[in-house]
């Protein structure tokens, strides 16, 4: 499998999940001309132009972060229970973070006008408070076992400072615990991050 990524972008969640599950993978970055590190035209692989994209062994390309994370969990039998409430809570949290929170980061990625940033900050503060309540004193977001939701949560929390919204204490601690995991340390090294 090949993970197409930009350093420090939301593909970091999939990168961490691949390492955590032990599935074999390669990681190839995309440059500003949308060429892959192995010289292919990324838009012809993924016309959406976004990362993450995952190329399977038969050349099939999967896109959309929640789907790629689900695929990694399904292939490995790790990071998502096969049934039970933890599974549904993890998928629910993944959908919430990918649609509501990632979406609310747009004004800070693209330097939108201040009123839009203000609205986004208000929304993010509410959303972080919901995640904080859900996490409570647990080790991970939906359970004491790590799930794919935590891989995505890590990236969401890493980017939060760009918005200027302060993280609740338990989310900040979760971020620091995740940052120290060997999978995260390795993903950072492989993406050339400090």
Chain residues that interact with ligand GSH, rule: CB under 6 A:
9-10, 49-52, 64-65, 98
Q: What are φ and ψ of residue 139, in 5° steps?
A: -70, -40
Q: How far apart are CA 65 and CA 123, in angstroms?
A: 22
The alpha carbon torsion through 26, 32, 152, 54 (nearest 10 deg) reads -40
Minimal distance, residue 71 CB to ligand GSH, in Å: 12
* Pick 9 or 17: Cβ nearer ligand GSH: 9
Whether the CB-CB separation of 190 and 28 falls below 8 Å is answered with no
Our CB check for ligand GSH shows the closer of 34 and 145 to be 34
Cα–Cα distance measured from residue 102 to residue 21, given in angstroms and rounded to the nearest whole number: 24
Which long-range CB contacts under 8 A does 112-118 form with residues at least 24 apart?
Answer: 117/163
Torsion of CA 162, 168, 172, 178, to 10 degrees: -100
**Residue spans of alpha helices (H) in 99-163:** 102-104, 106-109, 114-135, 148-163
Give whichever of 85 and 193 is closer to ligand GSH, judged by the CB atom: 193
Tell me the closest approach of the beta carbon of residue 51 to ligand GSH, in angstroms.
Answer: 4
Shortest Cβ distance from residue 26 to ligand GSH (Å)?
Answer: 19
Compare residues 49 and 77 and give the one whose CB is closer to ligand GSH.
49
Min separation Cβ 10 and ligand GSH, Å: 4
Least distance to ligand GSH from the beta carbon of 127, Å?
16
Given the complex with ligand GSH, which of 46 and 180 has the nearer CB atom?
A: 46
């Amino acid at each position: 499998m090949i993970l197409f990524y930009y350093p420090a972008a939301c593909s970091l969640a999939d990168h961490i999940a691949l390492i955590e599950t032990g599935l074999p993978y390669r990681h190839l970055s995309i440059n500003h001309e949308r060429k892959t590190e192995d010289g292919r035209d990324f838009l012809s692989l993924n016309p959406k132009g976004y990362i993450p994209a995952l190329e399977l062994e038969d050349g099939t390309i999967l896109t959309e972060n929640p789907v790629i994370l689900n695929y990694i969990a399904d292939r490995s039998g790790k990071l998502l229970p096969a049934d039970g409430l933890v599974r549904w809570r993890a998928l629910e949290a993944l959908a919430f973070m990918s649609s509501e929170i990632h979406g609310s980061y747009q004004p800070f990625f693209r330097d939108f006008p201040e009123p839009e940033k203000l609205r986004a900050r208000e929304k993010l503060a509410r959303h972080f408070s919901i995640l904080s309540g859900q996490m409570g004193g647990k080790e991970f977001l939906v359970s004491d076992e790590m799930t794919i939701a935590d891989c995505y949560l890590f990236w969401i929390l890493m980017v939060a400072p760009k918005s200027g919204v302060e993280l609740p204490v338990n989310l900040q601690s979760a971020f620091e615990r995740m940052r120290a995991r060997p999978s995260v340390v390795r993903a950072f090294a492989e993406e050339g991050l400090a």
